[in-house]
């Protein structure tokens, strides 16, 4: 590989496919540097992977479609308009009222829909919590408020922790598989944070360790979902 580490075509394909399965579309070398426990982490371009992994036509199609979808989900926030089904990007992530320019042009008047319930916007705006349509609720937030509690068997003293969290960086909903340490890697923004105290891992480790309870205890259930600032 370009970083100097050697890998068979079959292993390269398997490793990159496993990254895609974890919603990671950047291919990083997992090899350990000589005599250390530090991963190389060099980024392999897709062109390099495609050439050295000897991907079949079907594998290339799978890789490219998956990478495109993951990249779009990371760098854009979009949904299809409930009327014309055109994809609409939401640039202001704190405003649920979204303008569809296609429907506005077709109807000859401004058409806005609710990003949350996907119905025509009702009520004043901009708003960040809901529109005035019946049943307009943030289902992810309801899950965070009402999920069961869990324990982390391999982390001393951690019980009654909410079983579902929103990533403190991007708001992605995540669960802990109850194995290993208390930290978890967000599949969306690729930030590692503590599932218990909700601090980013470096900050959490300033006062505790991977397998011990956090000094401030278990963070309460989240009552809002962080907005991801990609800049």
Supply 46's token pair: 């897709």
Taking only the tens of pLDDT, the chain with its 231 residues reads 999 999 999 999 999 999 998 878 889 999 988 888 788 999 999 999 999 998 899 999 999 989 988 877 666 678 889 999 888 888 888 899 999 999 999 999 999 999 999 999 999 989 988 999 999 998 888 999 999 999 999 999 888 899 999 999 988 899 998 888 999 988 878 889 999 999 999 999 999 999 999 999 999 999 888 887 765
- What contacts 127, CB < 8 A, 6 or more positions away? 95, 96, 97
pLDDT of residue 211: 93
Task: Give me the residue label for tokens 């649920």.
Answer: 96
Supply 189's token pair: 């923004």
The pTM of the full predicted model, rounded to 2 decimals, is 0.60
């Amino acid at each position: 590989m370009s970083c100097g580490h050697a890998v068979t075509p079959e292993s390269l394909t398997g490793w990159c496919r496993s990254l895609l399965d974890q919603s990671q579309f950047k291919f990083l070398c997992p090899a350990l540097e000589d005599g250390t426990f530090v991963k190389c982490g060099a980024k392999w371009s897709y062109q390099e992977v495609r050439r050295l992994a000897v991907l079949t036509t079907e594998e290339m199609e799978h890789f490219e479609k998956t990478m495109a979808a993951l990249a779009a989900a990371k760098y854009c926030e979009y949904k299809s308009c409930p009327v014309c089904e055109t994809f609409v990007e939401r640039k202001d992530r704190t405003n649920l009222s979204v303008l569809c320019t296609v429907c506005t042009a077709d109807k000859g008047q401004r058409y806005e829909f609710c990003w949350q319930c996907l119905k025509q916007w009702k009520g004043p705006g901009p708003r960040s919590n809901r529109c005035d349509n019946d049943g307009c609720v943030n289902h992810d937030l309801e899950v965070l408020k009402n999920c069961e509690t869990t324990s982390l068997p391999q982390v001393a003293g951690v019980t009654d922790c909410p079983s579902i969290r929103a990533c403190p960086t991007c708001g992605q909903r995540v669960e802990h598989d109850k194995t290993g340490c208390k930290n978890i890697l967000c599949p969306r923004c690729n930030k590692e944070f503590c599932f218990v105290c909700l601090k980013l891992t470096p900050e959490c480790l300033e006062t505790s360790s991977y397998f011990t309870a956090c000094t401030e205890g278990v963070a309460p259930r989240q009552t809002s979902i962080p907005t991801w600032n990609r800049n």
